[in-house]
């Protein structure tokens, strides 16, 4: 069962990153395409710590919350000429948005194919992608939620928030530290909520 969690987690993380690059490419920035990152081949996306070590630890930990990342897809926000105001927000939202789209795909497949083993795989897909989508919407850099929030805040608030975000992005380990503290403090509650939501979506 753990191997299924691991495979779906890695697959979902890679799809998440490709979605960032694809959105940027459509908005005028070919950086990810030129870097060979608009591919489902896992090799260019693998980060040893984030894509192998941490996912294995999280999957094997009893009751552990799934955690991991791929190499960030590069993009140049100044090239997003087709959406100068909302470009970064759209690129950032494309990652978790794709995870939520995968939740829908797995939910549909679960209902279409009446097989218990396949249903279990689909439920894991729902659970993993719900968790990844919600996790990445936490508005703390370097997570996607920070850029999404910046895009939807009123300009005055967005300017103040962006100043804080810029300082945080210079020290990404601080941001990850805050996220890890939130997971340690509220992980059990969040995990129960995500699992209950996954069951609701799956209809089980």
Q: What is the DSSP letter of 142?
A: T
- Residue 148's contacts (CB-CB under 8 Å, 6 or more residues apart) are 89, 92, 93, 96, 137, 139
Can 17 be counted among the known catalytic residues?
Answer: yes
Note whether 23 and 90 are within 8 A (CB): yes
Q: What is the DSSP letter of 75?
A: -
- Residue 135's contacts (CB-CB under 8 Å, 6 or more residues apart) are 67, 143, 179
Q: What is the DSSP letter of 51?
A: I
Treating both helix axes as pointing N-terminal to C-terminal, what angle do 116-136 and 2-26 enclose, rounded to 10 degrees?
50
> Quick one: which of 199, 44, 49, 39 has its CA closest to 130?
199
- Give me the catalytic one of 17, 88, 114, 169: 17
CA distances from 94 to 25, 127, 141 (A): 12, 19, 16
Q: Give the catalytic positions in this structure.
A: 17
């Amino acid at each position: 069962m753990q191997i299924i969690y691991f495979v779906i987690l890695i697959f979902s993380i890679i799809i998440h990153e490709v979605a960032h690059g694809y959105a940027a490419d459509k908005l005028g920035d070919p950086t990810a395409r030129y870097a060979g990152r608009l591919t489902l081949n896992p090799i260019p996306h693998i980060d040893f710590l984030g894509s192998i070590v941490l996912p294995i630890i999280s999957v094997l930990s009893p009751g552990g919350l799934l955690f991991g990342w791929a190499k960030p897809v590069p993009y140049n926000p100044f090239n997003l000429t087709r959406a100068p105001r909302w470009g970064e927000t759209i690129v950032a939202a494309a990652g978790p948005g794709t995870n939520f789209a995968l939740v829908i795909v797995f939910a549909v497949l679960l209902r279409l194919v009446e097989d218990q083993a396949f249903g279990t795989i689909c439920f894991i897909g729902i659970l993993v992608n719900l968790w990844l989508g919600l996790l990445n919407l936490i508005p703390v850099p370097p997570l996607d939620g920070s850029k999404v929030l910046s895009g939807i805040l009123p300009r005055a608030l967005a300017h103040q928030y962006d100043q804080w975000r810029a300082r945080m992005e210079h020290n990404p380990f601080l941001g990850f530290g805050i996220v890890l503290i939130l997971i340690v403090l509220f992980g059990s509650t969040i995990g129960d909520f995500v699992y209950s939501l996954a069951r609701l979506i799956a209809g089980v």
